């Protein structure tokens, strides 16, 4: 099972990259060619999209004991962003006057272009953090798979956008990609070794530290007392022991 998860590790970032590209191209197509005024500036749309992606990467969750939970919340936020983009895109197609007003164009730029790319950026950044901080050693990052997914997304959107009576239907398809990618990635996160350093110190024998190590997929959680690189004490965390202070647990 673990080897299957390892072989499928490339799939979630590829799907996120594909969804990112679809959202970017759909937004360009709808905002640039379906409305009047400032939104006809290709540079305006691209600047907002790239800036939103950069902001998402910058705000990605950093290392920490609750990294997995924070990344899961980012993934849910990404799904919500694409849902809003699909709903607004459908309204844009049905209510033609929506794209003719400056307010409608501004909301379209924010909801269909900026928000999806921002949330995709923060998910990809979080995936990079998870890969770099795996307890068993650094794993390959998501950048290559995400770039390949973006290329596929641009190609698919280029083929289907002009043929689709409702362009926002592609955003609904992106929701499916993200949902499937999230399920695959969640299974991989369960097999990730999470290490939380609870305390560090020095003794006459050298450096000591207390670590909590968890692997959700196996239902295993342990607290270890290290002296240097040697394990001096190890206890299984379960029930009450999982929530008592670390020093009390080690003393037991």
DSSP, residue by residue, 95-161: -GGGGGSHHHHHHHIIIIIIHHHHHHHHHHHHHHHHHHT-TTS----SHHHHHHHHHHHHHHHHHHT
Confidence of residue 239 (pLDDT cuts 50, 70, 90): low
Is 95 in contact with 168 (CB distance < 8 Å)? no
- What residues does each domain of the chain span? 2-190, 194-251
Is residue 231 pLDDT above 60, yes or no?
Answer: yes
The pLDDT of residue 241: 46
- Residues 60, 125 contacting (CB under 8 angstroms): yes
Given a cut of 90, whether residue 78 has pLDDT beyond it is yes
Token pair recorded at residue 244: 């008592």
Question: Is 125 in contact with 16 (CB distance < 8 Å)?
Answer: no
Note the pLDDT tens digit of each residue in 179-218. Answer: 998 888 887 776 666 776 767 777 766 787 776 777 665 5
Give the per-residue pLDDT at 30.
Answer: 77
Please tell me the predicted confidence (pLDDT) of residue 33.
Answer: 67
Specify which of 83-97, 160-174, 197-211, 219-233 reaches the highest per-range mean pLDDT. 83-97
Q: What is the pLDDT of residue 191?
A: 66
User: Does the structure show a pLDDT above 60 at 35?
Assistant: no
Across the range 87-112, mean pLDDT stands at 84
Q: What's the pTM value of the predicted model, to 2 decimals?
A: 0.77
Predicted confidence at residue 247, as pLDDT, reads: 39
Q: What is the pLDDT of residue 249?
A: 46
CATH class of 2-190: mainly alpha
Tokens of 166: 């409702």
Q: How sure is the predictor about 3, in pLDDT bands with cuts at 50, 70 and 90?
A: low
Mean pLDDT of 20-34: 79
Tens digit of each residue's pLDDT (9 = 90 or more) over 60-76:
888 876 787 888 899 99
Structure tokens at 228: 């240097």
Write down the pLDDT at residue 135: 65
Q: What is the CA radius of gyration of the chain?
A: 23
Which token pair is 146? 């995400």
Indicate if the pLDDT at residue 120 is higher than 90: yes
Each residue's pLDDT tens digit, 121-165? 999 999 998 888 776 667 778 888 899 999 998 898 888 877 777
pLDDT score of 136? 66
The residue whose two tokens read 């640039």 is: 32
The C-alpha angle with vertex 20 and arms to 14 and 21, in degrees rounded to 5, equals 90
Mean pLDDT of 40-69: 83
């Amino acid at each position: 099972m673990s080897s299957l998860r390892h072989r499928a590790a490339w799939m979630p970032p590829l799907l996120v990259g594909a969804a990112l590209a679809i959202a970017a191209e759909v937004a360009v197509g709808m905002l640039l060619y379906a409305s009047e005024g400032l939104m006809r500036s290709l540079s305006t749309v691209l600047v907002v999209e790239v800036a939103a992606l950069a902001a998402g990467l910058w705000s990605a969750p950093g290392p920490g004991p609750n990294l997995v939970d924070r990344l899961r919340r980012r993934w849910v936020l990404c799904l919500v962003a694409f849902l809003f983009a699909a709903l607004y895109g459908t309204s844009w197609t049905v209510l033609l006057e929506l794209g003719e007003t400056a307010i409608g164009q501004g909301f379209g730029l924010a909801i269909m272009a900026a928000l999806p790319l921002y949330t995709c950026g923060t998910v990809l950044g979080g995936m990079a953090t998870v890969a770099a901080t795996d307890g068993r050693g650094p794993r390959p990052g998501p950048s290559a798979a995400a770039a390949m997914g973006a290329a596929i997304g641009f190609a698919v959107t280029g083929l289907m956008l002009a043929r689709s009576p409702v362009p926002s239907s592609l955003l609904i398809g992106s929701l499916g990609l993200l949902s499937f990618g999230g399920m695959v990635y969640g299974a991989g996160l369960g097999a990730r070794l999470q290490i939380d350093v609870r305390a560090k110190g020095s003794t006459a024998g050298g450096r000591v530290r207390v670590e909590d190590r968890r692997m959700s997929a196996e239902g295993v959680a342990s607290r270890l007392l290290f002296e240097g690189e040697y394990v001096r004490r190890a206890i299984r965390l379960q029930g009450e022991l999982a929530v008592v202070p670390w020093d009390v647990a080690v003393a037991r």
